[in-house]
Amino acid sequence: MTARKLITSALMVLLAALASPAWADPLRWNVPERVSQGHAFPVSAEGSAPFAAVFSWLDGELAISAEPAAAKDGKPSWKAEILLAVPLDAKGDLPLAVRVGDKTENFSIRTLRVAWPQSILKVPPRYVQPPEDVLEKIARDREHSRKALALRTDRRCTLPLHRPVPGGITSPFGGRRVFNGQPRSPHKGTDLRSPEGAPVRAVADGTAVLVEDQYYGGNTIYLYHGQGVFSVYCHLLQASVAVGEHVARGQVIARSGSTGRVTGAHLHFGFIVQGVSVDAMPLLSFPPVVTGGPSRSIVEKGGTPKKTSRRKK
């Protein structure tokens, strides 16, 4: 072997060693001990060398590469961060496994029950059962949404979120609604007061992955923010972005309206984390609130998330 090849091989071995967590200090973990139903929560690991982590949560896996972070005690630092979510009907303890190299760290997240509000409403029949001539469109809308929500990359969604409109909550996330005596699925978004034509802003940097007129949501926009995280804006008067367009946090992307199956102008604001709909309002602050009741209670009472983790032995 030539001297040049020997030097090259030695450099490759050295770089691999420096990049391997086995040669670095132990990772520092930030995992909440308890999270309420219907809430998203951040998880992070930080170390002194580059690393990649595979997060196994619920029924999915997502690989995240650590990014350079602020130095610790004069040493370089690398951090992997991800946003995860607890379904609004979750119960008991949920396992989180994180694989780094040949080692796996196991955590347990205690889910806290939320007393979701219930509304009993009397509405015109057309708001309960759609006419047969639109069923095909509804199925097509759902398929388009499903395909858009399947996107996964390790690009990180940055917090806190920007408030999409200044108006207050008219219908909170998670509410159970009964229309004309018929129970409906929980409200998987937050309705915010917003007059016709008012600007609607992107909650975070992202890419428009769906812009179309849907039966239920009317003019609808889905923005993708990375790591399987999406924001949803419905009942818009008009959209100002096109599919594939990149947008910045706080950028005007639409005007609020009353399109779709609604009785008046407002913004239906949804937030989806790896297929799980969550209450987005706690994510407007940083660090986000991960425990508590429906968004009205959280906004009024405030609160801070627990930063301790309960690691399985």
Q: Are residues 162 and 293 in the same domain?
A: yes
Give Cα 233 distance to the centre of its chain. Answer: 14
**Which residue, of 78, 112, 146, is where some domain finishes?**
112
Residues paired with residue 100 on neighbouring β-strands, in sequence order: 103
Q: Are residues 82 and 149 in the same domain?
A: no
Q: What is the DSSP string of 47-104?
A: ESS--EEEEEETTEEEEEE-EEEEEETTEEEEEEEEEEE--TT--SEEEEEEEETTEE
CATH of the domain at 124: 2.70.70.10
Q: Which domain holds residue 33?
A: 21-112
- Read off the DSSP letter of residue 197: T
247: helix, strand or coil: strand
pLDDT for 153 equals 83
**Which residue, of 80, 112, 144, is where some domain finishes?**
112
Residue 25 to residue 109: CA distance in whole angstroms: 25
**Which residue, of 59, 77, 112, is where some domain finishes?**
112
Q: Are residues 204 and 292 in the same domain?
A: yes
pLDDT for 181 equals 76
Closest to 234 in 3D by CA, of 207, 204, 271, 205:
271
Q: What is the pLDDT along the chain (313 residues), one digit of tens a residue?
A: 444 444 434 433 343 344 444 445 789 999 999 999 999 999 999 999 999 999 999 999 999 999 999 887 888 899 999 999 999 999 999 999 999 999 999 999 999 999 988 777 777 776 677 888 899 999 999 999 999 999 888 788 999 999 999 999 998 999 887 777 777 788 899 999 999 999 999 999 999 999 999 999 999 999 999 999 999 999 999 999 999 999 999 999 999 999 998 889 999 999 999 999 999 999 999 999 999 888 774 443 333 333 334 444 3
Number of domains in the chain: 2
What the block records as the tokens of 48 is 């002194």
pLDDT for 168 equals 94
pLDDT for 126 equals 67
